Amino acid sequence: MSIDWLEDWAPTDGAERAASVFRTRFDTEPEGTWSAPGRVNLIGEHTDYNGGLCLPIALPHRTYAAVRRRDDDLVRLVSAQEPTGLRTLDLADVAPGAVDGWVGYVVGVAWALRQAGHAIGGFDVAIDSCVPYGAGLSSSAALEASVAVALDAVFGLGLEGSDEGRTTLAALCVRAENEIAGAPTGGMDQAAALRAREGDALLLDCLDGSVRHVPFDLAAHDLALLVVDTRAEHALVDGQYAARRAACEAAAATLGVETLREINSDPRGLEWALDKLDDEDQVRRVRHVVTEIDRVTWFVALLDAGEVSLIGTLMNQSHASLRDDYEVSCRELDLVVDTARAAGALGARMTGGGFGGSAIALVAADEVDRVAHAVADAFADAGLRAPGFLVATASAPAS
């Protein structure tokens, strides 16, 4: 069986692709091309909106935006992924509930910048991307962040140059996603796209937005991170994500804490919190969140100590917790995880929001092909669509 490898583009190729779409559509040169990566989260799932810790890396797969500013308030958009045509919107018409689809992520960023008082006018933009779409690898945050750094440059905001400015851009991308695109997500994906560093995992503390860059070089340990896009499409995803978030907020209110993160440092401990909750679903959701935050701390401690092969155990525990307590896995994700482990992976887990999307497996560098084939065969045997594969290395942020 042949393996479907999801290739990334060399940055110069990606930029040229977007610029070429721009030239063809708008009959002029863009002012420049900006890009931002997708991400894969190593551990710390469904913790970001609970004030917790997470540990994503930026992918080599990026979204490219070729942009030219305009003298009016119109935005004209074209995407190589949607060859049907050119869309035109007036920035004055952008408001919560007014824009559907991928266009909302682009104009949503302009809207959020304007809401924050930045002088943003109209622009022409052409998009091309090699971030797998709908794979749980944050193609939407990559799109938002590529547009954010583009608008920062063409409107001279000067935010991209510092981590503080990038934090501001990330927060505005979250606003665009929550309010214009209508997805109630936390802030992990946008932080990864804008604040990660090549070679490092991004330890993000969602309580105060602080970060630590943790060296993450699996090749130095003869290991690799295999990412499997299950290509599973599940209905009700948005509703399920919002329901998990609501359950966490309700539990926090019952416990009298601002965020569930407080339970991690409460001397009365997790058992006290679980005893106080009557709702069985909330008990399981809280147990996942609190134990997952602890796993991030241990994962980072293992990386710091150079005990990299041991992180697989924490990945396995994270998957069990997401499957059994948080209930966001699915048949396809479980199949990747079980098959990869049976084929020799040191650990495996679903990554991202769940209900489909991608899983990751920690494998010996010389066993990547073997594990990928085992997973592809298992999907074929189960009558499932062939999955996509990539090997993730910690890559560069938006630029």
Catalytic residues, by residue number, are 189
The pair of structure tokens assigned to 192 is: 């990864």
3-state secondary structure of 79: strand
267 CB contacts (<8 Å, ≥6 apart)?
none
List Cβ<8 Å contacts ≥24 apart for 158-166: 160/398, 160/399, 163/195, 163/211, 166/194, 166/195, 166/397, 166/398
Contact residue for ligand GLA among 144, 152, 160, 189 (CB under 6 A): 189
What angle is formed at CA 175 by the lines to CA 172 and CA 178, rounded to 5 degrees?
A: 155
Give the residue with the Cβ less far from ligand GLA, 46 or 319: 46
Query: Do residues 72 and 120 touch, judged by C-beta distance below 8 A?
Result: no
In whole angstroms, what is the distance from residue 157 CA to residue 165 CA?
9
Q: How many residues bind ligand GLA (CB under 6 A)?
A: 11
Q: Which stretch binds ligand GLA (CB under 6 A): 61-69, 180-188, 330-338, 367-375?
A: 180-188
Give the residue with the Cβ less far from ligand GLA, 17 or 195: 195
Q: Which stretch binds ligand GLA (CB under 6 A): 17-25, 38-46, 97-105, 164-172?
A: 38-46
Q: Is 180 in the site for ligand GLA (CB under 6 A)?
A: no
| Minimal distance, residue 40 CB to ligand GLA, in Å | 10
| Minimal distance, residue 2 CB to ligand GLA, in Å | 29
The pair of structure tokens assigned to 165 is: 């400015």
Give the residue with the Cβ less far from ligand GLA, 127 or 248: 248
Q: Which stretch binds ligand GLA (CB under 6 A): 67-75, 183-191, 308-316, 391-399?
A: 183-191
Of 292, 283, 254, 238, the closest CA to residue 46 belongs to 292
Give the residue with the Cβ less far from ligand GLA, 33 or 282: 282
**Residue written as token pair 């697989």:** 312
Q: Is 393 in the site for ligand GLA (CB under 6 A)?
A: no
Q: Is 122 in the site for ligand GLA (CB under 6 A)?
A: no
Binding positions for ligand GLA, 39-58, rule CB under 6 A: 41, 45-46, 48-49
Q: Is 315 in the site for ligand GLA (CB under 6 A)?
A: no
Query: Do residues 205 and 111 touch, judged by C-beta distance below 8 A?
Result: no
Residues of this chain that bind ligand GLA (CB under 6 A): 41, 45-46, 48-49, 185-186, 188-189, 352-353
